[in-house]
Structure formats: C-alpha cells, structure tokens
Amino acid sequence: MNQPQTQSQSIPETLLARYQRVRQASLDLAAPLEVEDMVVQSMPNASPTRWHLAHTTWFFERFLLAPRGTGFQPYREGWDYLFNSYYYSVGDMHKRPERGLLSRPTVAEIRAYRDHVDAQMAELIDRNPGDTELEFLLELGLNHEQQHQELILTDIKHALSRNPLRPAYRKDLQAQPASSEPLHYTEFSGGIVEIGTDQSGFCFDNETPRHRVLLNPFEIGSRLATNAEFREFIDDGGYQRHELWLSDGWAWIREQNWSRPIYWSQDLSSEFSLLGEIELDPYRSVCHVCYYEADAFARWSGARLPGEAEWEQVAMNKPVSGNLLDQHNFHPAGSDSGEGISQLFGDTWEWTQSPYSAYPGFRALAGSLGEYNGKFMCNQMVLRGGSCATPQDHIRPTYRNFFHPDARWQFSGIRLARDV
C-alpha cells in the first residue's frame, strides 16, 4: 500500500507539524461560517460544525492525553458525555439527533478547548520522541479528524440547503465549467488477486488483512456518470420504473417521494452546492445519490456497480490525485481525460456493490478503539475513492468508506462496470 502523502516539501514533516497542520485545517474549514451556522443540526445523521470541532478534540483528550497524563484532569466535567460519539466502552453519550439542542458550551468555549488540548498534545509529542504507540494513536486521531473535516462540509451543506435563502458556504468562489469525454470501458482479465493493505503505511483496521480474492473478467467505466446521463435516466421514467429498483430501494423512494438527486431543483435546471445555487452543468459528475439510486441507474444503463475488489485492482498503483479537498473546488468536476480511467480519486465517492463486512481474518483494534470500524460491519455498503471534500493525504487505494444504502447527503456518485 502506498503511504498517505503529505504536503510537498523538501524536509519531512515532523509529527508535531503534521498534528498542527491537520488541526488547523478544521478551523480553516469552519472559518467561512457564522456562529449561527455552526450550531445548526439539520437532520439526525448530521452534526453541528461546533460538535465536530469539539468531538475531534475530545478524541485526543480521551485516547492520548488521559492514558498518559500524570494526574490528568478533563478540561471540563461532563464534556465526555457531550462529545463522545459511539464509544460505549468509555461511557454513555448524548443522543446524536439532539446535538443541535446544545446551546452550551459555546463556539468560543470549544475553540478554547481546542487550544488547551493542542497545547497539551504539543507537550506530549515533545516528551515522547520515537514512541511508536503514540505515533500510531496520533496518526489514527489525525485521520479521524480528516474524516470529520469532510463531515463538516457535507453536514453544513445540508443545513444551508434547508434555508430558503440558499446561502453559500463560500461566496468568494464560483463553480468552474466542466467537460466530459465519451464513456468507454476498459477490460480486466480477473483472476486471483490480492486486496487490502500490506501495512507499509497508516491504514484503518478495516483495510486489513491483505488477502486473496477471485475476480471474474470485468470491464469498468472510464469516468464517473454525469449529470446529463442521470437526467436521461430521470426523463426515461427512472424513478417510476419499479423493475429498475431493488425492493428496499423502491419502497424507500416511494415513502420519501424522491424524484431526483437531493440537491437538484424541481425543474432539474440547477443544484445547490457549497458555492450556492448553481446551474446544473451536464458534464459535471452527478453526486449526492444513494446506493439505491446508483444501483437503479446502473441497471438502466445496462451495467452494474463495481465490486470493491474490482475497484481496488483498477486503482492500485495509480497516483492519488484529482479533485480533492486540497483543490478547494468544494464541488465535483467533470472528466477531461480522453484515455485511460479517470476520476478514481476525488470528485465523488463511488458506490460499489459490496456490502461492508470484515475481510477474512479481520481483527479489530484492542480496547475502545476497536469500536471505531468493526461494529458497523452490517447493513452498509462500501464506497471507494474519496471526494472533492476528502483531504489528499487521507485517501489511498485500499481505503474503505461505508454508509447505509439510503444515505445521499455525502458526495457520493456512480461509476459503471460490466461483466465480460
């Protein structure tokens, strides 16, 4: 596995410098927001921005500072309860759907909390040079924070979309026109292949262990599906044709009365973005579709979604580059590559047809951190490749994202595959 890349520089980034850079990136993402924006929770699956800023700080306090600090005292009593997410091994937590009801602590208090923990973490790092356990836990915490950086953007996008004024997250940026080459397929012979990490760099436990799988011959689309192609699906009655949908998906879209992607306007002429309401560019990659929508579109297209092992074989040894968070576009683009396979990283997460489950021989991390991934391996689907909201040094070919099949507030899109 390729080790996650850091910023380009001639001198290797120190552990403390990486910590400070990632932590500052969260504050930079929150900077365009008003205080009022940061306290809003628009649905049970989303969280207020200020909760993300506090929870990621709590992670370092609870799992790095508390076990190693002599005479450790938490920053504030009761905040363990407020900012724990799902770690039952360390205690109960405030109900997730009610995070938006917490008017206190204030945003200012949470910023002070971050400053306090960052100062303590700097001392901890300085006192423990070469401590491999600390380095692993620190890297885990930073990758956890980068996950929440993406959630800051997806969650505030949903919150702003519920405002009738359709305010922009970034008023100073404009969406750039996209282009897209004709879709073609590249064939792969299949065979017995290996997937998963070789542990030559940081990874989450759900990427382990590396193991062999048998792939039948397949072919995969050269780019992501576009708005224009998804519009054709809609115009052809895609949301009214039960034969295209999985049973659960058909029941769900009828219950929710879905007829288009979540952020598309009713007349299909525009979409809401972090840059405000923008014209629906036909060449831009369609995003914010759930697994059910992606699967129905694939059936309509005479294709299917790729398996995660197929996707990994295609992406392995490809450079991790694309329209990722570092480009600050905050929205998917199109494909300008006429040859090869493009958009493997960035733009949108790509739904696969693979259920999120354990690899053969999987072992969760010991202790509380074993709750991080393993206990969610049920009733969710795997996505690959990162999005326009994913930091570049966070994503890699073996990375496994996962969401419930009805989730579509994430930057999730579609790549087609076919049997040979």
Query: Is residue 169 assigned to a domain?
Result: no
Given this model, what pLDDT does residue 3 score? Answer: 38
Cβ pair 156, 148 in contact under 8 A: no
User: 377 versus 288: which is more confidently predicted?
Assistant: 288
386 shares a domain with 254: yes
Q: Give the pLDDT of residue 6.
A: 41
**Percent share of the chain, pLDDT over 70:** 96
Task: Provide the CA 417 distance to its chain's centre, in angstroms.
Answer: 22
253-278 b/e (C-beta count within 10 Å ≥ 16 → b): beeeebebbbbbeeebebbbbbbbbb
**Residue 164, C-beta contacts closer than 8 angstroms, at least 6 positions apart:** none
Q: Give the DSSP H/E element, type plus range, for residue 218.
A: strand 218-221
In a domain, 177, yes or no: no
pLDDT band at 180 (very low <50, low <70, confident <90, very high): confident
- Quick count: other Cβ atoms within 10 Å of Cβ 67? 11
**Contact call for residues 263 and 332 (beta carbons, < 8 A):** no
**Mean of pLDDT over the chain:** 93
Block residue for tokens 């629906």: 280
Distance CA 395, CA 203 (A): 10
- One domain, residues 388 and 242: yes
Residues 72, 119 within the same domain: yes
Q: Of 1-10, 120-129, 276-285, 371-380, where does mean pLDDT reach its minimum?
A: 1-10
Does 339 or 315 have the greater pLDDT score?
315
Residues 209 and 348 in one domain: yes
Q: Are residues 231 and 346 in the same domain?
A: yes
Amino acid of residue 26: S
* Number of structural domains in the chain: 2
Residue 350 in 3-state DSSP?
A: strand
Share of the chain above pLDDT 90, in %: 85
Q: Tell me: the pLDDT tens digits for 62-109?
A: 999 999 866 788 999 999 999 999 898 889 999 999 999 999 999 999
Q: Are 398 and 197 a contacting pair, CB within 8 Å?
A: yes
Q: Please state, in angstroms and rounded to a whole number, the distance separating the CA atoms of residues 300 and 286.
A: 15
Amino acid at 102: L
Whether residue 345 contacts residue 321, with contact meaning beta carbons closer than 8 Å, is answered with: yes
Tens digits of per-residue pLDDT, 301-330?
999 999 999 999 999 989 999 999 999 999
In a domain, 171, yes or no: no
| Domain at 281, CATH number | 3.90.1580.10
What span, in angstroms and rounded, lies between the C-alpha atoms of 150 and 410?
9
Tokens of 178: 């996209």
pLDDT, tens digit, 9 for 90 and up, residues 357-397:
999 999 888 887 877 777 888 999 999 999 999 999 999 99
Structure tokens at 124: 């901890």
Question: Do 374 and 298 share a structural domain?
Answer: yes
Whether residue 196 sits in one domain with residue 243: yes
Give the residue numbers spanning the domain of 108: 15-161
pLDDT higher than threshold 50 for residue 181: yes
- One domain, residues 97 and 218: no
Q: Can you say whether the dihedral through the CA atoms of 365, 366, 369, 374 is positive or negative?
A: positive
Q: Give me the residues paired with residue 384 across strands.
A: 350
In a domain, 3, yes or no: no
- Same domain? 248 vs 377: yes
Give the model's pLDDT for residue 337.
64
Please report, for the chain, how many H helices and E strands are present, in that order: 11, 11
**Predicted local distance difference test score (pLDDT) of residue 4:** 39
236 shares a domain with 148: no
**Does a structural domain hold residue 38?**
yes
Q: Are residues 41 and 100 in the same domain?
A: yes
φ/ψ of residue 417, rounded to 5: -140, 165
- Contact (CB, 8 A) for 368 and 212: no
The Cα angle at residue 309 between residues 262 and 334, in degrees rounded to 5: 40
CA distance 293 to 413: 10
Predicted model pTM? 0.94
Which alpha helices (H) appear in 257-374, and where do they start and end?
291-300, 308-315
Q: Is residue 240 a part of any domain in this protein? A: yes
Q: How confident is the model at residue 11 (pLDDT cuts 50, 70, 90)?
A: low
Residue 170 included in any domain = no
| pLDDT tens, position by position, 233-275 | 999 999 999 999 999 999 999 999 999 999 999 999 999 999 9
- Whether residues 279 and 315 share a domain: the answer is yes
CB 245 within 8 A of CB 292: yes
pLDDT of residue 201: 84
Phi/psi-derived region of residue 342, left when phi > 0, alpha when psi is between -120 and 50, beta in every other case: beta
